[in-house]
Amino acid sequence: MTNCIVKNPATGAVLAEIPIDSVEAIKVKIAEGAEAFKSWKKTSAHERAALLMAWSALIKKNRQQLGELITAENGKPIKEALGEVDYAVSYIDWYAEEAKRMYGRTIPAHVPNKRIIVTREAIGLVGAITPWNFPAAMMTRKAAPALAAGCTFIVKPAEETPLTTIRLIELAHEAGFPTAVVQSILADGPTVGEIFTSSPEVRKITFTGSTPVGKWLMERSAQSVKHMTMELGGHAPIIIAEDADLDLAVEQTVIAKFRNAGQTCVSPNRLLVHANIADTFVEKLTKRVDLLRVGNGMDNHNEVGPIINKKGFDKIVNQLNDAVEKGAKVVIGNEFDFDEGADYYFVQPTILTDVTADMKMMQEETFGPVIPIVTFTSIDEAIDVANNTPYGLAAYFFTESYKMGNYIAEGLHFGILGWNDGAPSGAHVPFGGMKESGIGREGGSEGIEPYLETKYLSMTI
């Protein structure tokens, strides 16, 4: 592959054909990033914060253009794409502030003539690899804390959606970041994975993507003991307790589930509803889902865009066929609008009932607009089913009871919990997963820690 062909997933039209970086060119960028670290780490936190604020201002000025770029290459509705630009910028704003709070400490010495000082230092050159589902926000939530900490940064965006990243990096340079401090590269994942993991100059890898690729990167990085942040796959449950506010649960389920047509790592993948309220809930949810308009995200009225590509579409169809063959009942959806020749794929929002544990969608991430519904009769049973997965990213639950809510929260093994809340993400909170959903957190005060080393100085005076 010498060129990366970027397509509009809503139409299959080619948006751009960009030459990919050669192995040699990638190695040169890594060397430049490592060299730039020597001076960048010496800049003051206030200087770095000011550059981040200048970058943020330029992104805000170009909000509409960036939003349209996201919709064009990713497919999500324009309103959501503009929301993603705001979300992406919020990480830059947050870490421009956090840059100034990289506090150290002093430790009382065990003898009178010693003084001990603990400082925090930037790790070095960071290699980032990002997915196509949030082309702006997954990049800035890595770049902003890395740059704030004093690290230099190289990102490899997904081949499906590199245009947003390329534009964001241009704006960073326009804002005043030296070229070698923040860079992007364009190449296929395995090539970049191979180079990043084998390069001693790359001191940290931060990855957002699928669990198998994350595991592979971790294995290879062991050779040079790199720092790692892993934001991997999810398999989020929603538990609807018997006393839940059903209208609220319906509204929040729709928000959580159909964002980016279900192609979101925190997207609910399994809906567990108490048997006594299941019929009422399914009826209300179906009415609401029936109102969702599917189509090209550039049309402001559409709320559910296309699936990113044929591979993603085939996975969804395969899971649906498997579920129906094993006895699931289609309440709404299971319909498709696609054209393999043109290369676009839409899936109608789908609700399935009579879902059982042996169905593929109860074990694997679907990454599509599909809601499988399972009933339960006791909350312990629901918690067990929810936890019965190697993943542990996000989980949601709906109950009006304070005691029940706390009981469920304490029982769930997930890094992010939404109680009566389908939208828990934000720059100010620690985002990340347990078990095979990842290592480390992005966002919040936790999000800068993975870019810092601890150094302590012991002085005899």
Q: What is the dihedral of CA 262, 370, 237, 318, to 10 degrees?
A: -100
Q: In the window 420-439, what residues touch ligand NAD (CB under 6 A)?
A: 433, 438
The residue within the footprint of ligand NAD, chosen from 92, 126, 158, 244 (CB under 6 A), is 158
* Residue-wise burial string across 136-152, b where 16 or more C-beta atoms lie within 10 A, e elsewhere: bbbbbbbbbbbbbbbbb
The residue within the footprint of ligand O=CCCC(=O)O, chosen from 305, 425, 436, 437 (CB under 6 A), is 425
- Smallest distance from the beta carbon of 265 to ligand NAD, in angstroms? 3
Q: Is 197 or 425 the residue whose CB approaches ligand O=CCCC(=O)O more closely?
A: 425
Q: Check if the beta carbon of residue 135 is closer than 8 Å to that of residue 70.
A: yes
Indicate the SS3 state at residue 316: helix
Q: How far is C-alpha 112 from the chain's CA centre?
A: 50
Q: Residue 301 contacts by C-beta under 8 Å, 6 or more apart in sequence? A: 293, 295
Which range of residues in 70-78, 120-128, 259-267, 364-372 is near ligand O=CCCC(=O)O by CB under 6 A? 259-267
Q: Is 264 or 389 the residue whose CB approaches ligand O=CCCC(=O)O more closely?
A: 264
Q: Tokens at residue 446, please?
A: 């936790």
- List, as one string, the DSSP characters of 428-448: TS-B--EETTEES-BSTGGGG
Should residue 81 be labelled a site residue for ligand O=CCCC(=O)O when binding is judged by CB under 6 A? Answer: no
The residue within the footprint of ligand NAD, chosen from 124, 209, 368, 392 (CB under 6 A), is 209
DSSP element (H, E) containing 31: helix 23-40
Q: Is 150 or 440 the residue whose CB approaches ligand NAD more closely?
A: 440
d(C-alpha 441, C-alpha 415), whole Å: 9
Which range of residues in 64-72, 100-108, 156-164, 169-177 is near ligand NAD by CB under 6 A? 156-164
Of ligand NAD, ligand O=CCCC(=O)O, none, which one sits near residue 331, judging by CB under 5 to 8 A according to partner kind? none
Residues classed as catalytic: 231, 265
Interface size with ligand NAD, residues (CB under 6 A) = 28
d(C-alpha 7, C-alpha 71), whole Å: 11
Q: Are strands 350-353 and 370-376 parallel, antiparallel or unpaired?
A: parallel
Of ligand NAD, ligand O=CCCC(=O)O, none, which one sits near residue 232, judging by CB under 5 to 8 A according to partner kind? ligand NAD
Q: How many CB atoms lie within 10 A of CB 57?
A: 15
Should residue 134 be labelled a site residue for ligand O=CCCC(=O)O when binding is judged by CB under 6 A? Answer: yes
Should residue 56 be labelled a site residue for ligand O=CCCC(=O)O when binding is judged by CB under 6 A? Answer: no
Q: Residue 66 contacts by C-beta under 8 Å, 6 or more apart in sequence? A: 59, 81, 85, 136, 164, 167, 168
Q: Residue 186 contacts by C-beta under 8 Å, 6 or more apart in sequence? A: 4, 18, 19, 20, 21, 156, 157, 159, 162, 166
DSSP element (H, E) containing 408: helix 402-411
d(C-alpha 379, C-alpha 384), whole Å: 9
Which residue number is nearest to ligand O=CCCC(=O)O in terms of Cβ? Answer: 425
Should residue 265 be labelled a site residue for ligand NAD when binding is judged by CB under 6 A? Answer: yes
Q: Is 162 or 233 the residue whose CB approaches ligand O=CCCC(=O)O more closely?
A: 233
The residue within the footprint of ligand O=CCCC(=O)O, chosen from 199, 264, 296, 302 (CB under 6 A), is 264
Cα-based distances in Å from 379 to 236, 243, 274, 390: 17, 11, 8, 20
Should residue 393 be labelled a site residue for ligand NAD when binding is judged by CB under 6 A? Answer: yes
Q: In the window 311-370, what residues touch ligand NAD (CB under 6 A)?
A: 365
Residues 381-420: x where in contact with ligand O=CCCC(=O)O by CB under 6 A, - otherwise, as a string:
----------------------------------------
Of ligand NAD, ligand O=CCCC(=O)O, none, which one sits near residue 189, judging by CB under 5 to 8 A according to partner kind? ligand NAD
The residue within the footprint of ligand O=CCCC(=O)O, chosen from 56, 90, 133, 375 (CB under 6 A), is 133
d(C-alpha 382, C-alpha 408), whole Å: 9
Should residue 231 be labelled a site residue for ligand NAD when binding is judged by CB under 6 A? Answer: yes
* Residue count of the chain: 461
Q: Which residues are at the interface with ligand NAD (CB under 6 A)?
A: 129-133, 138, 156, 158-159, 189-190, 192-193, 208-210, 213, 216-217, 231-234, 265, 365, 393, 433, 438
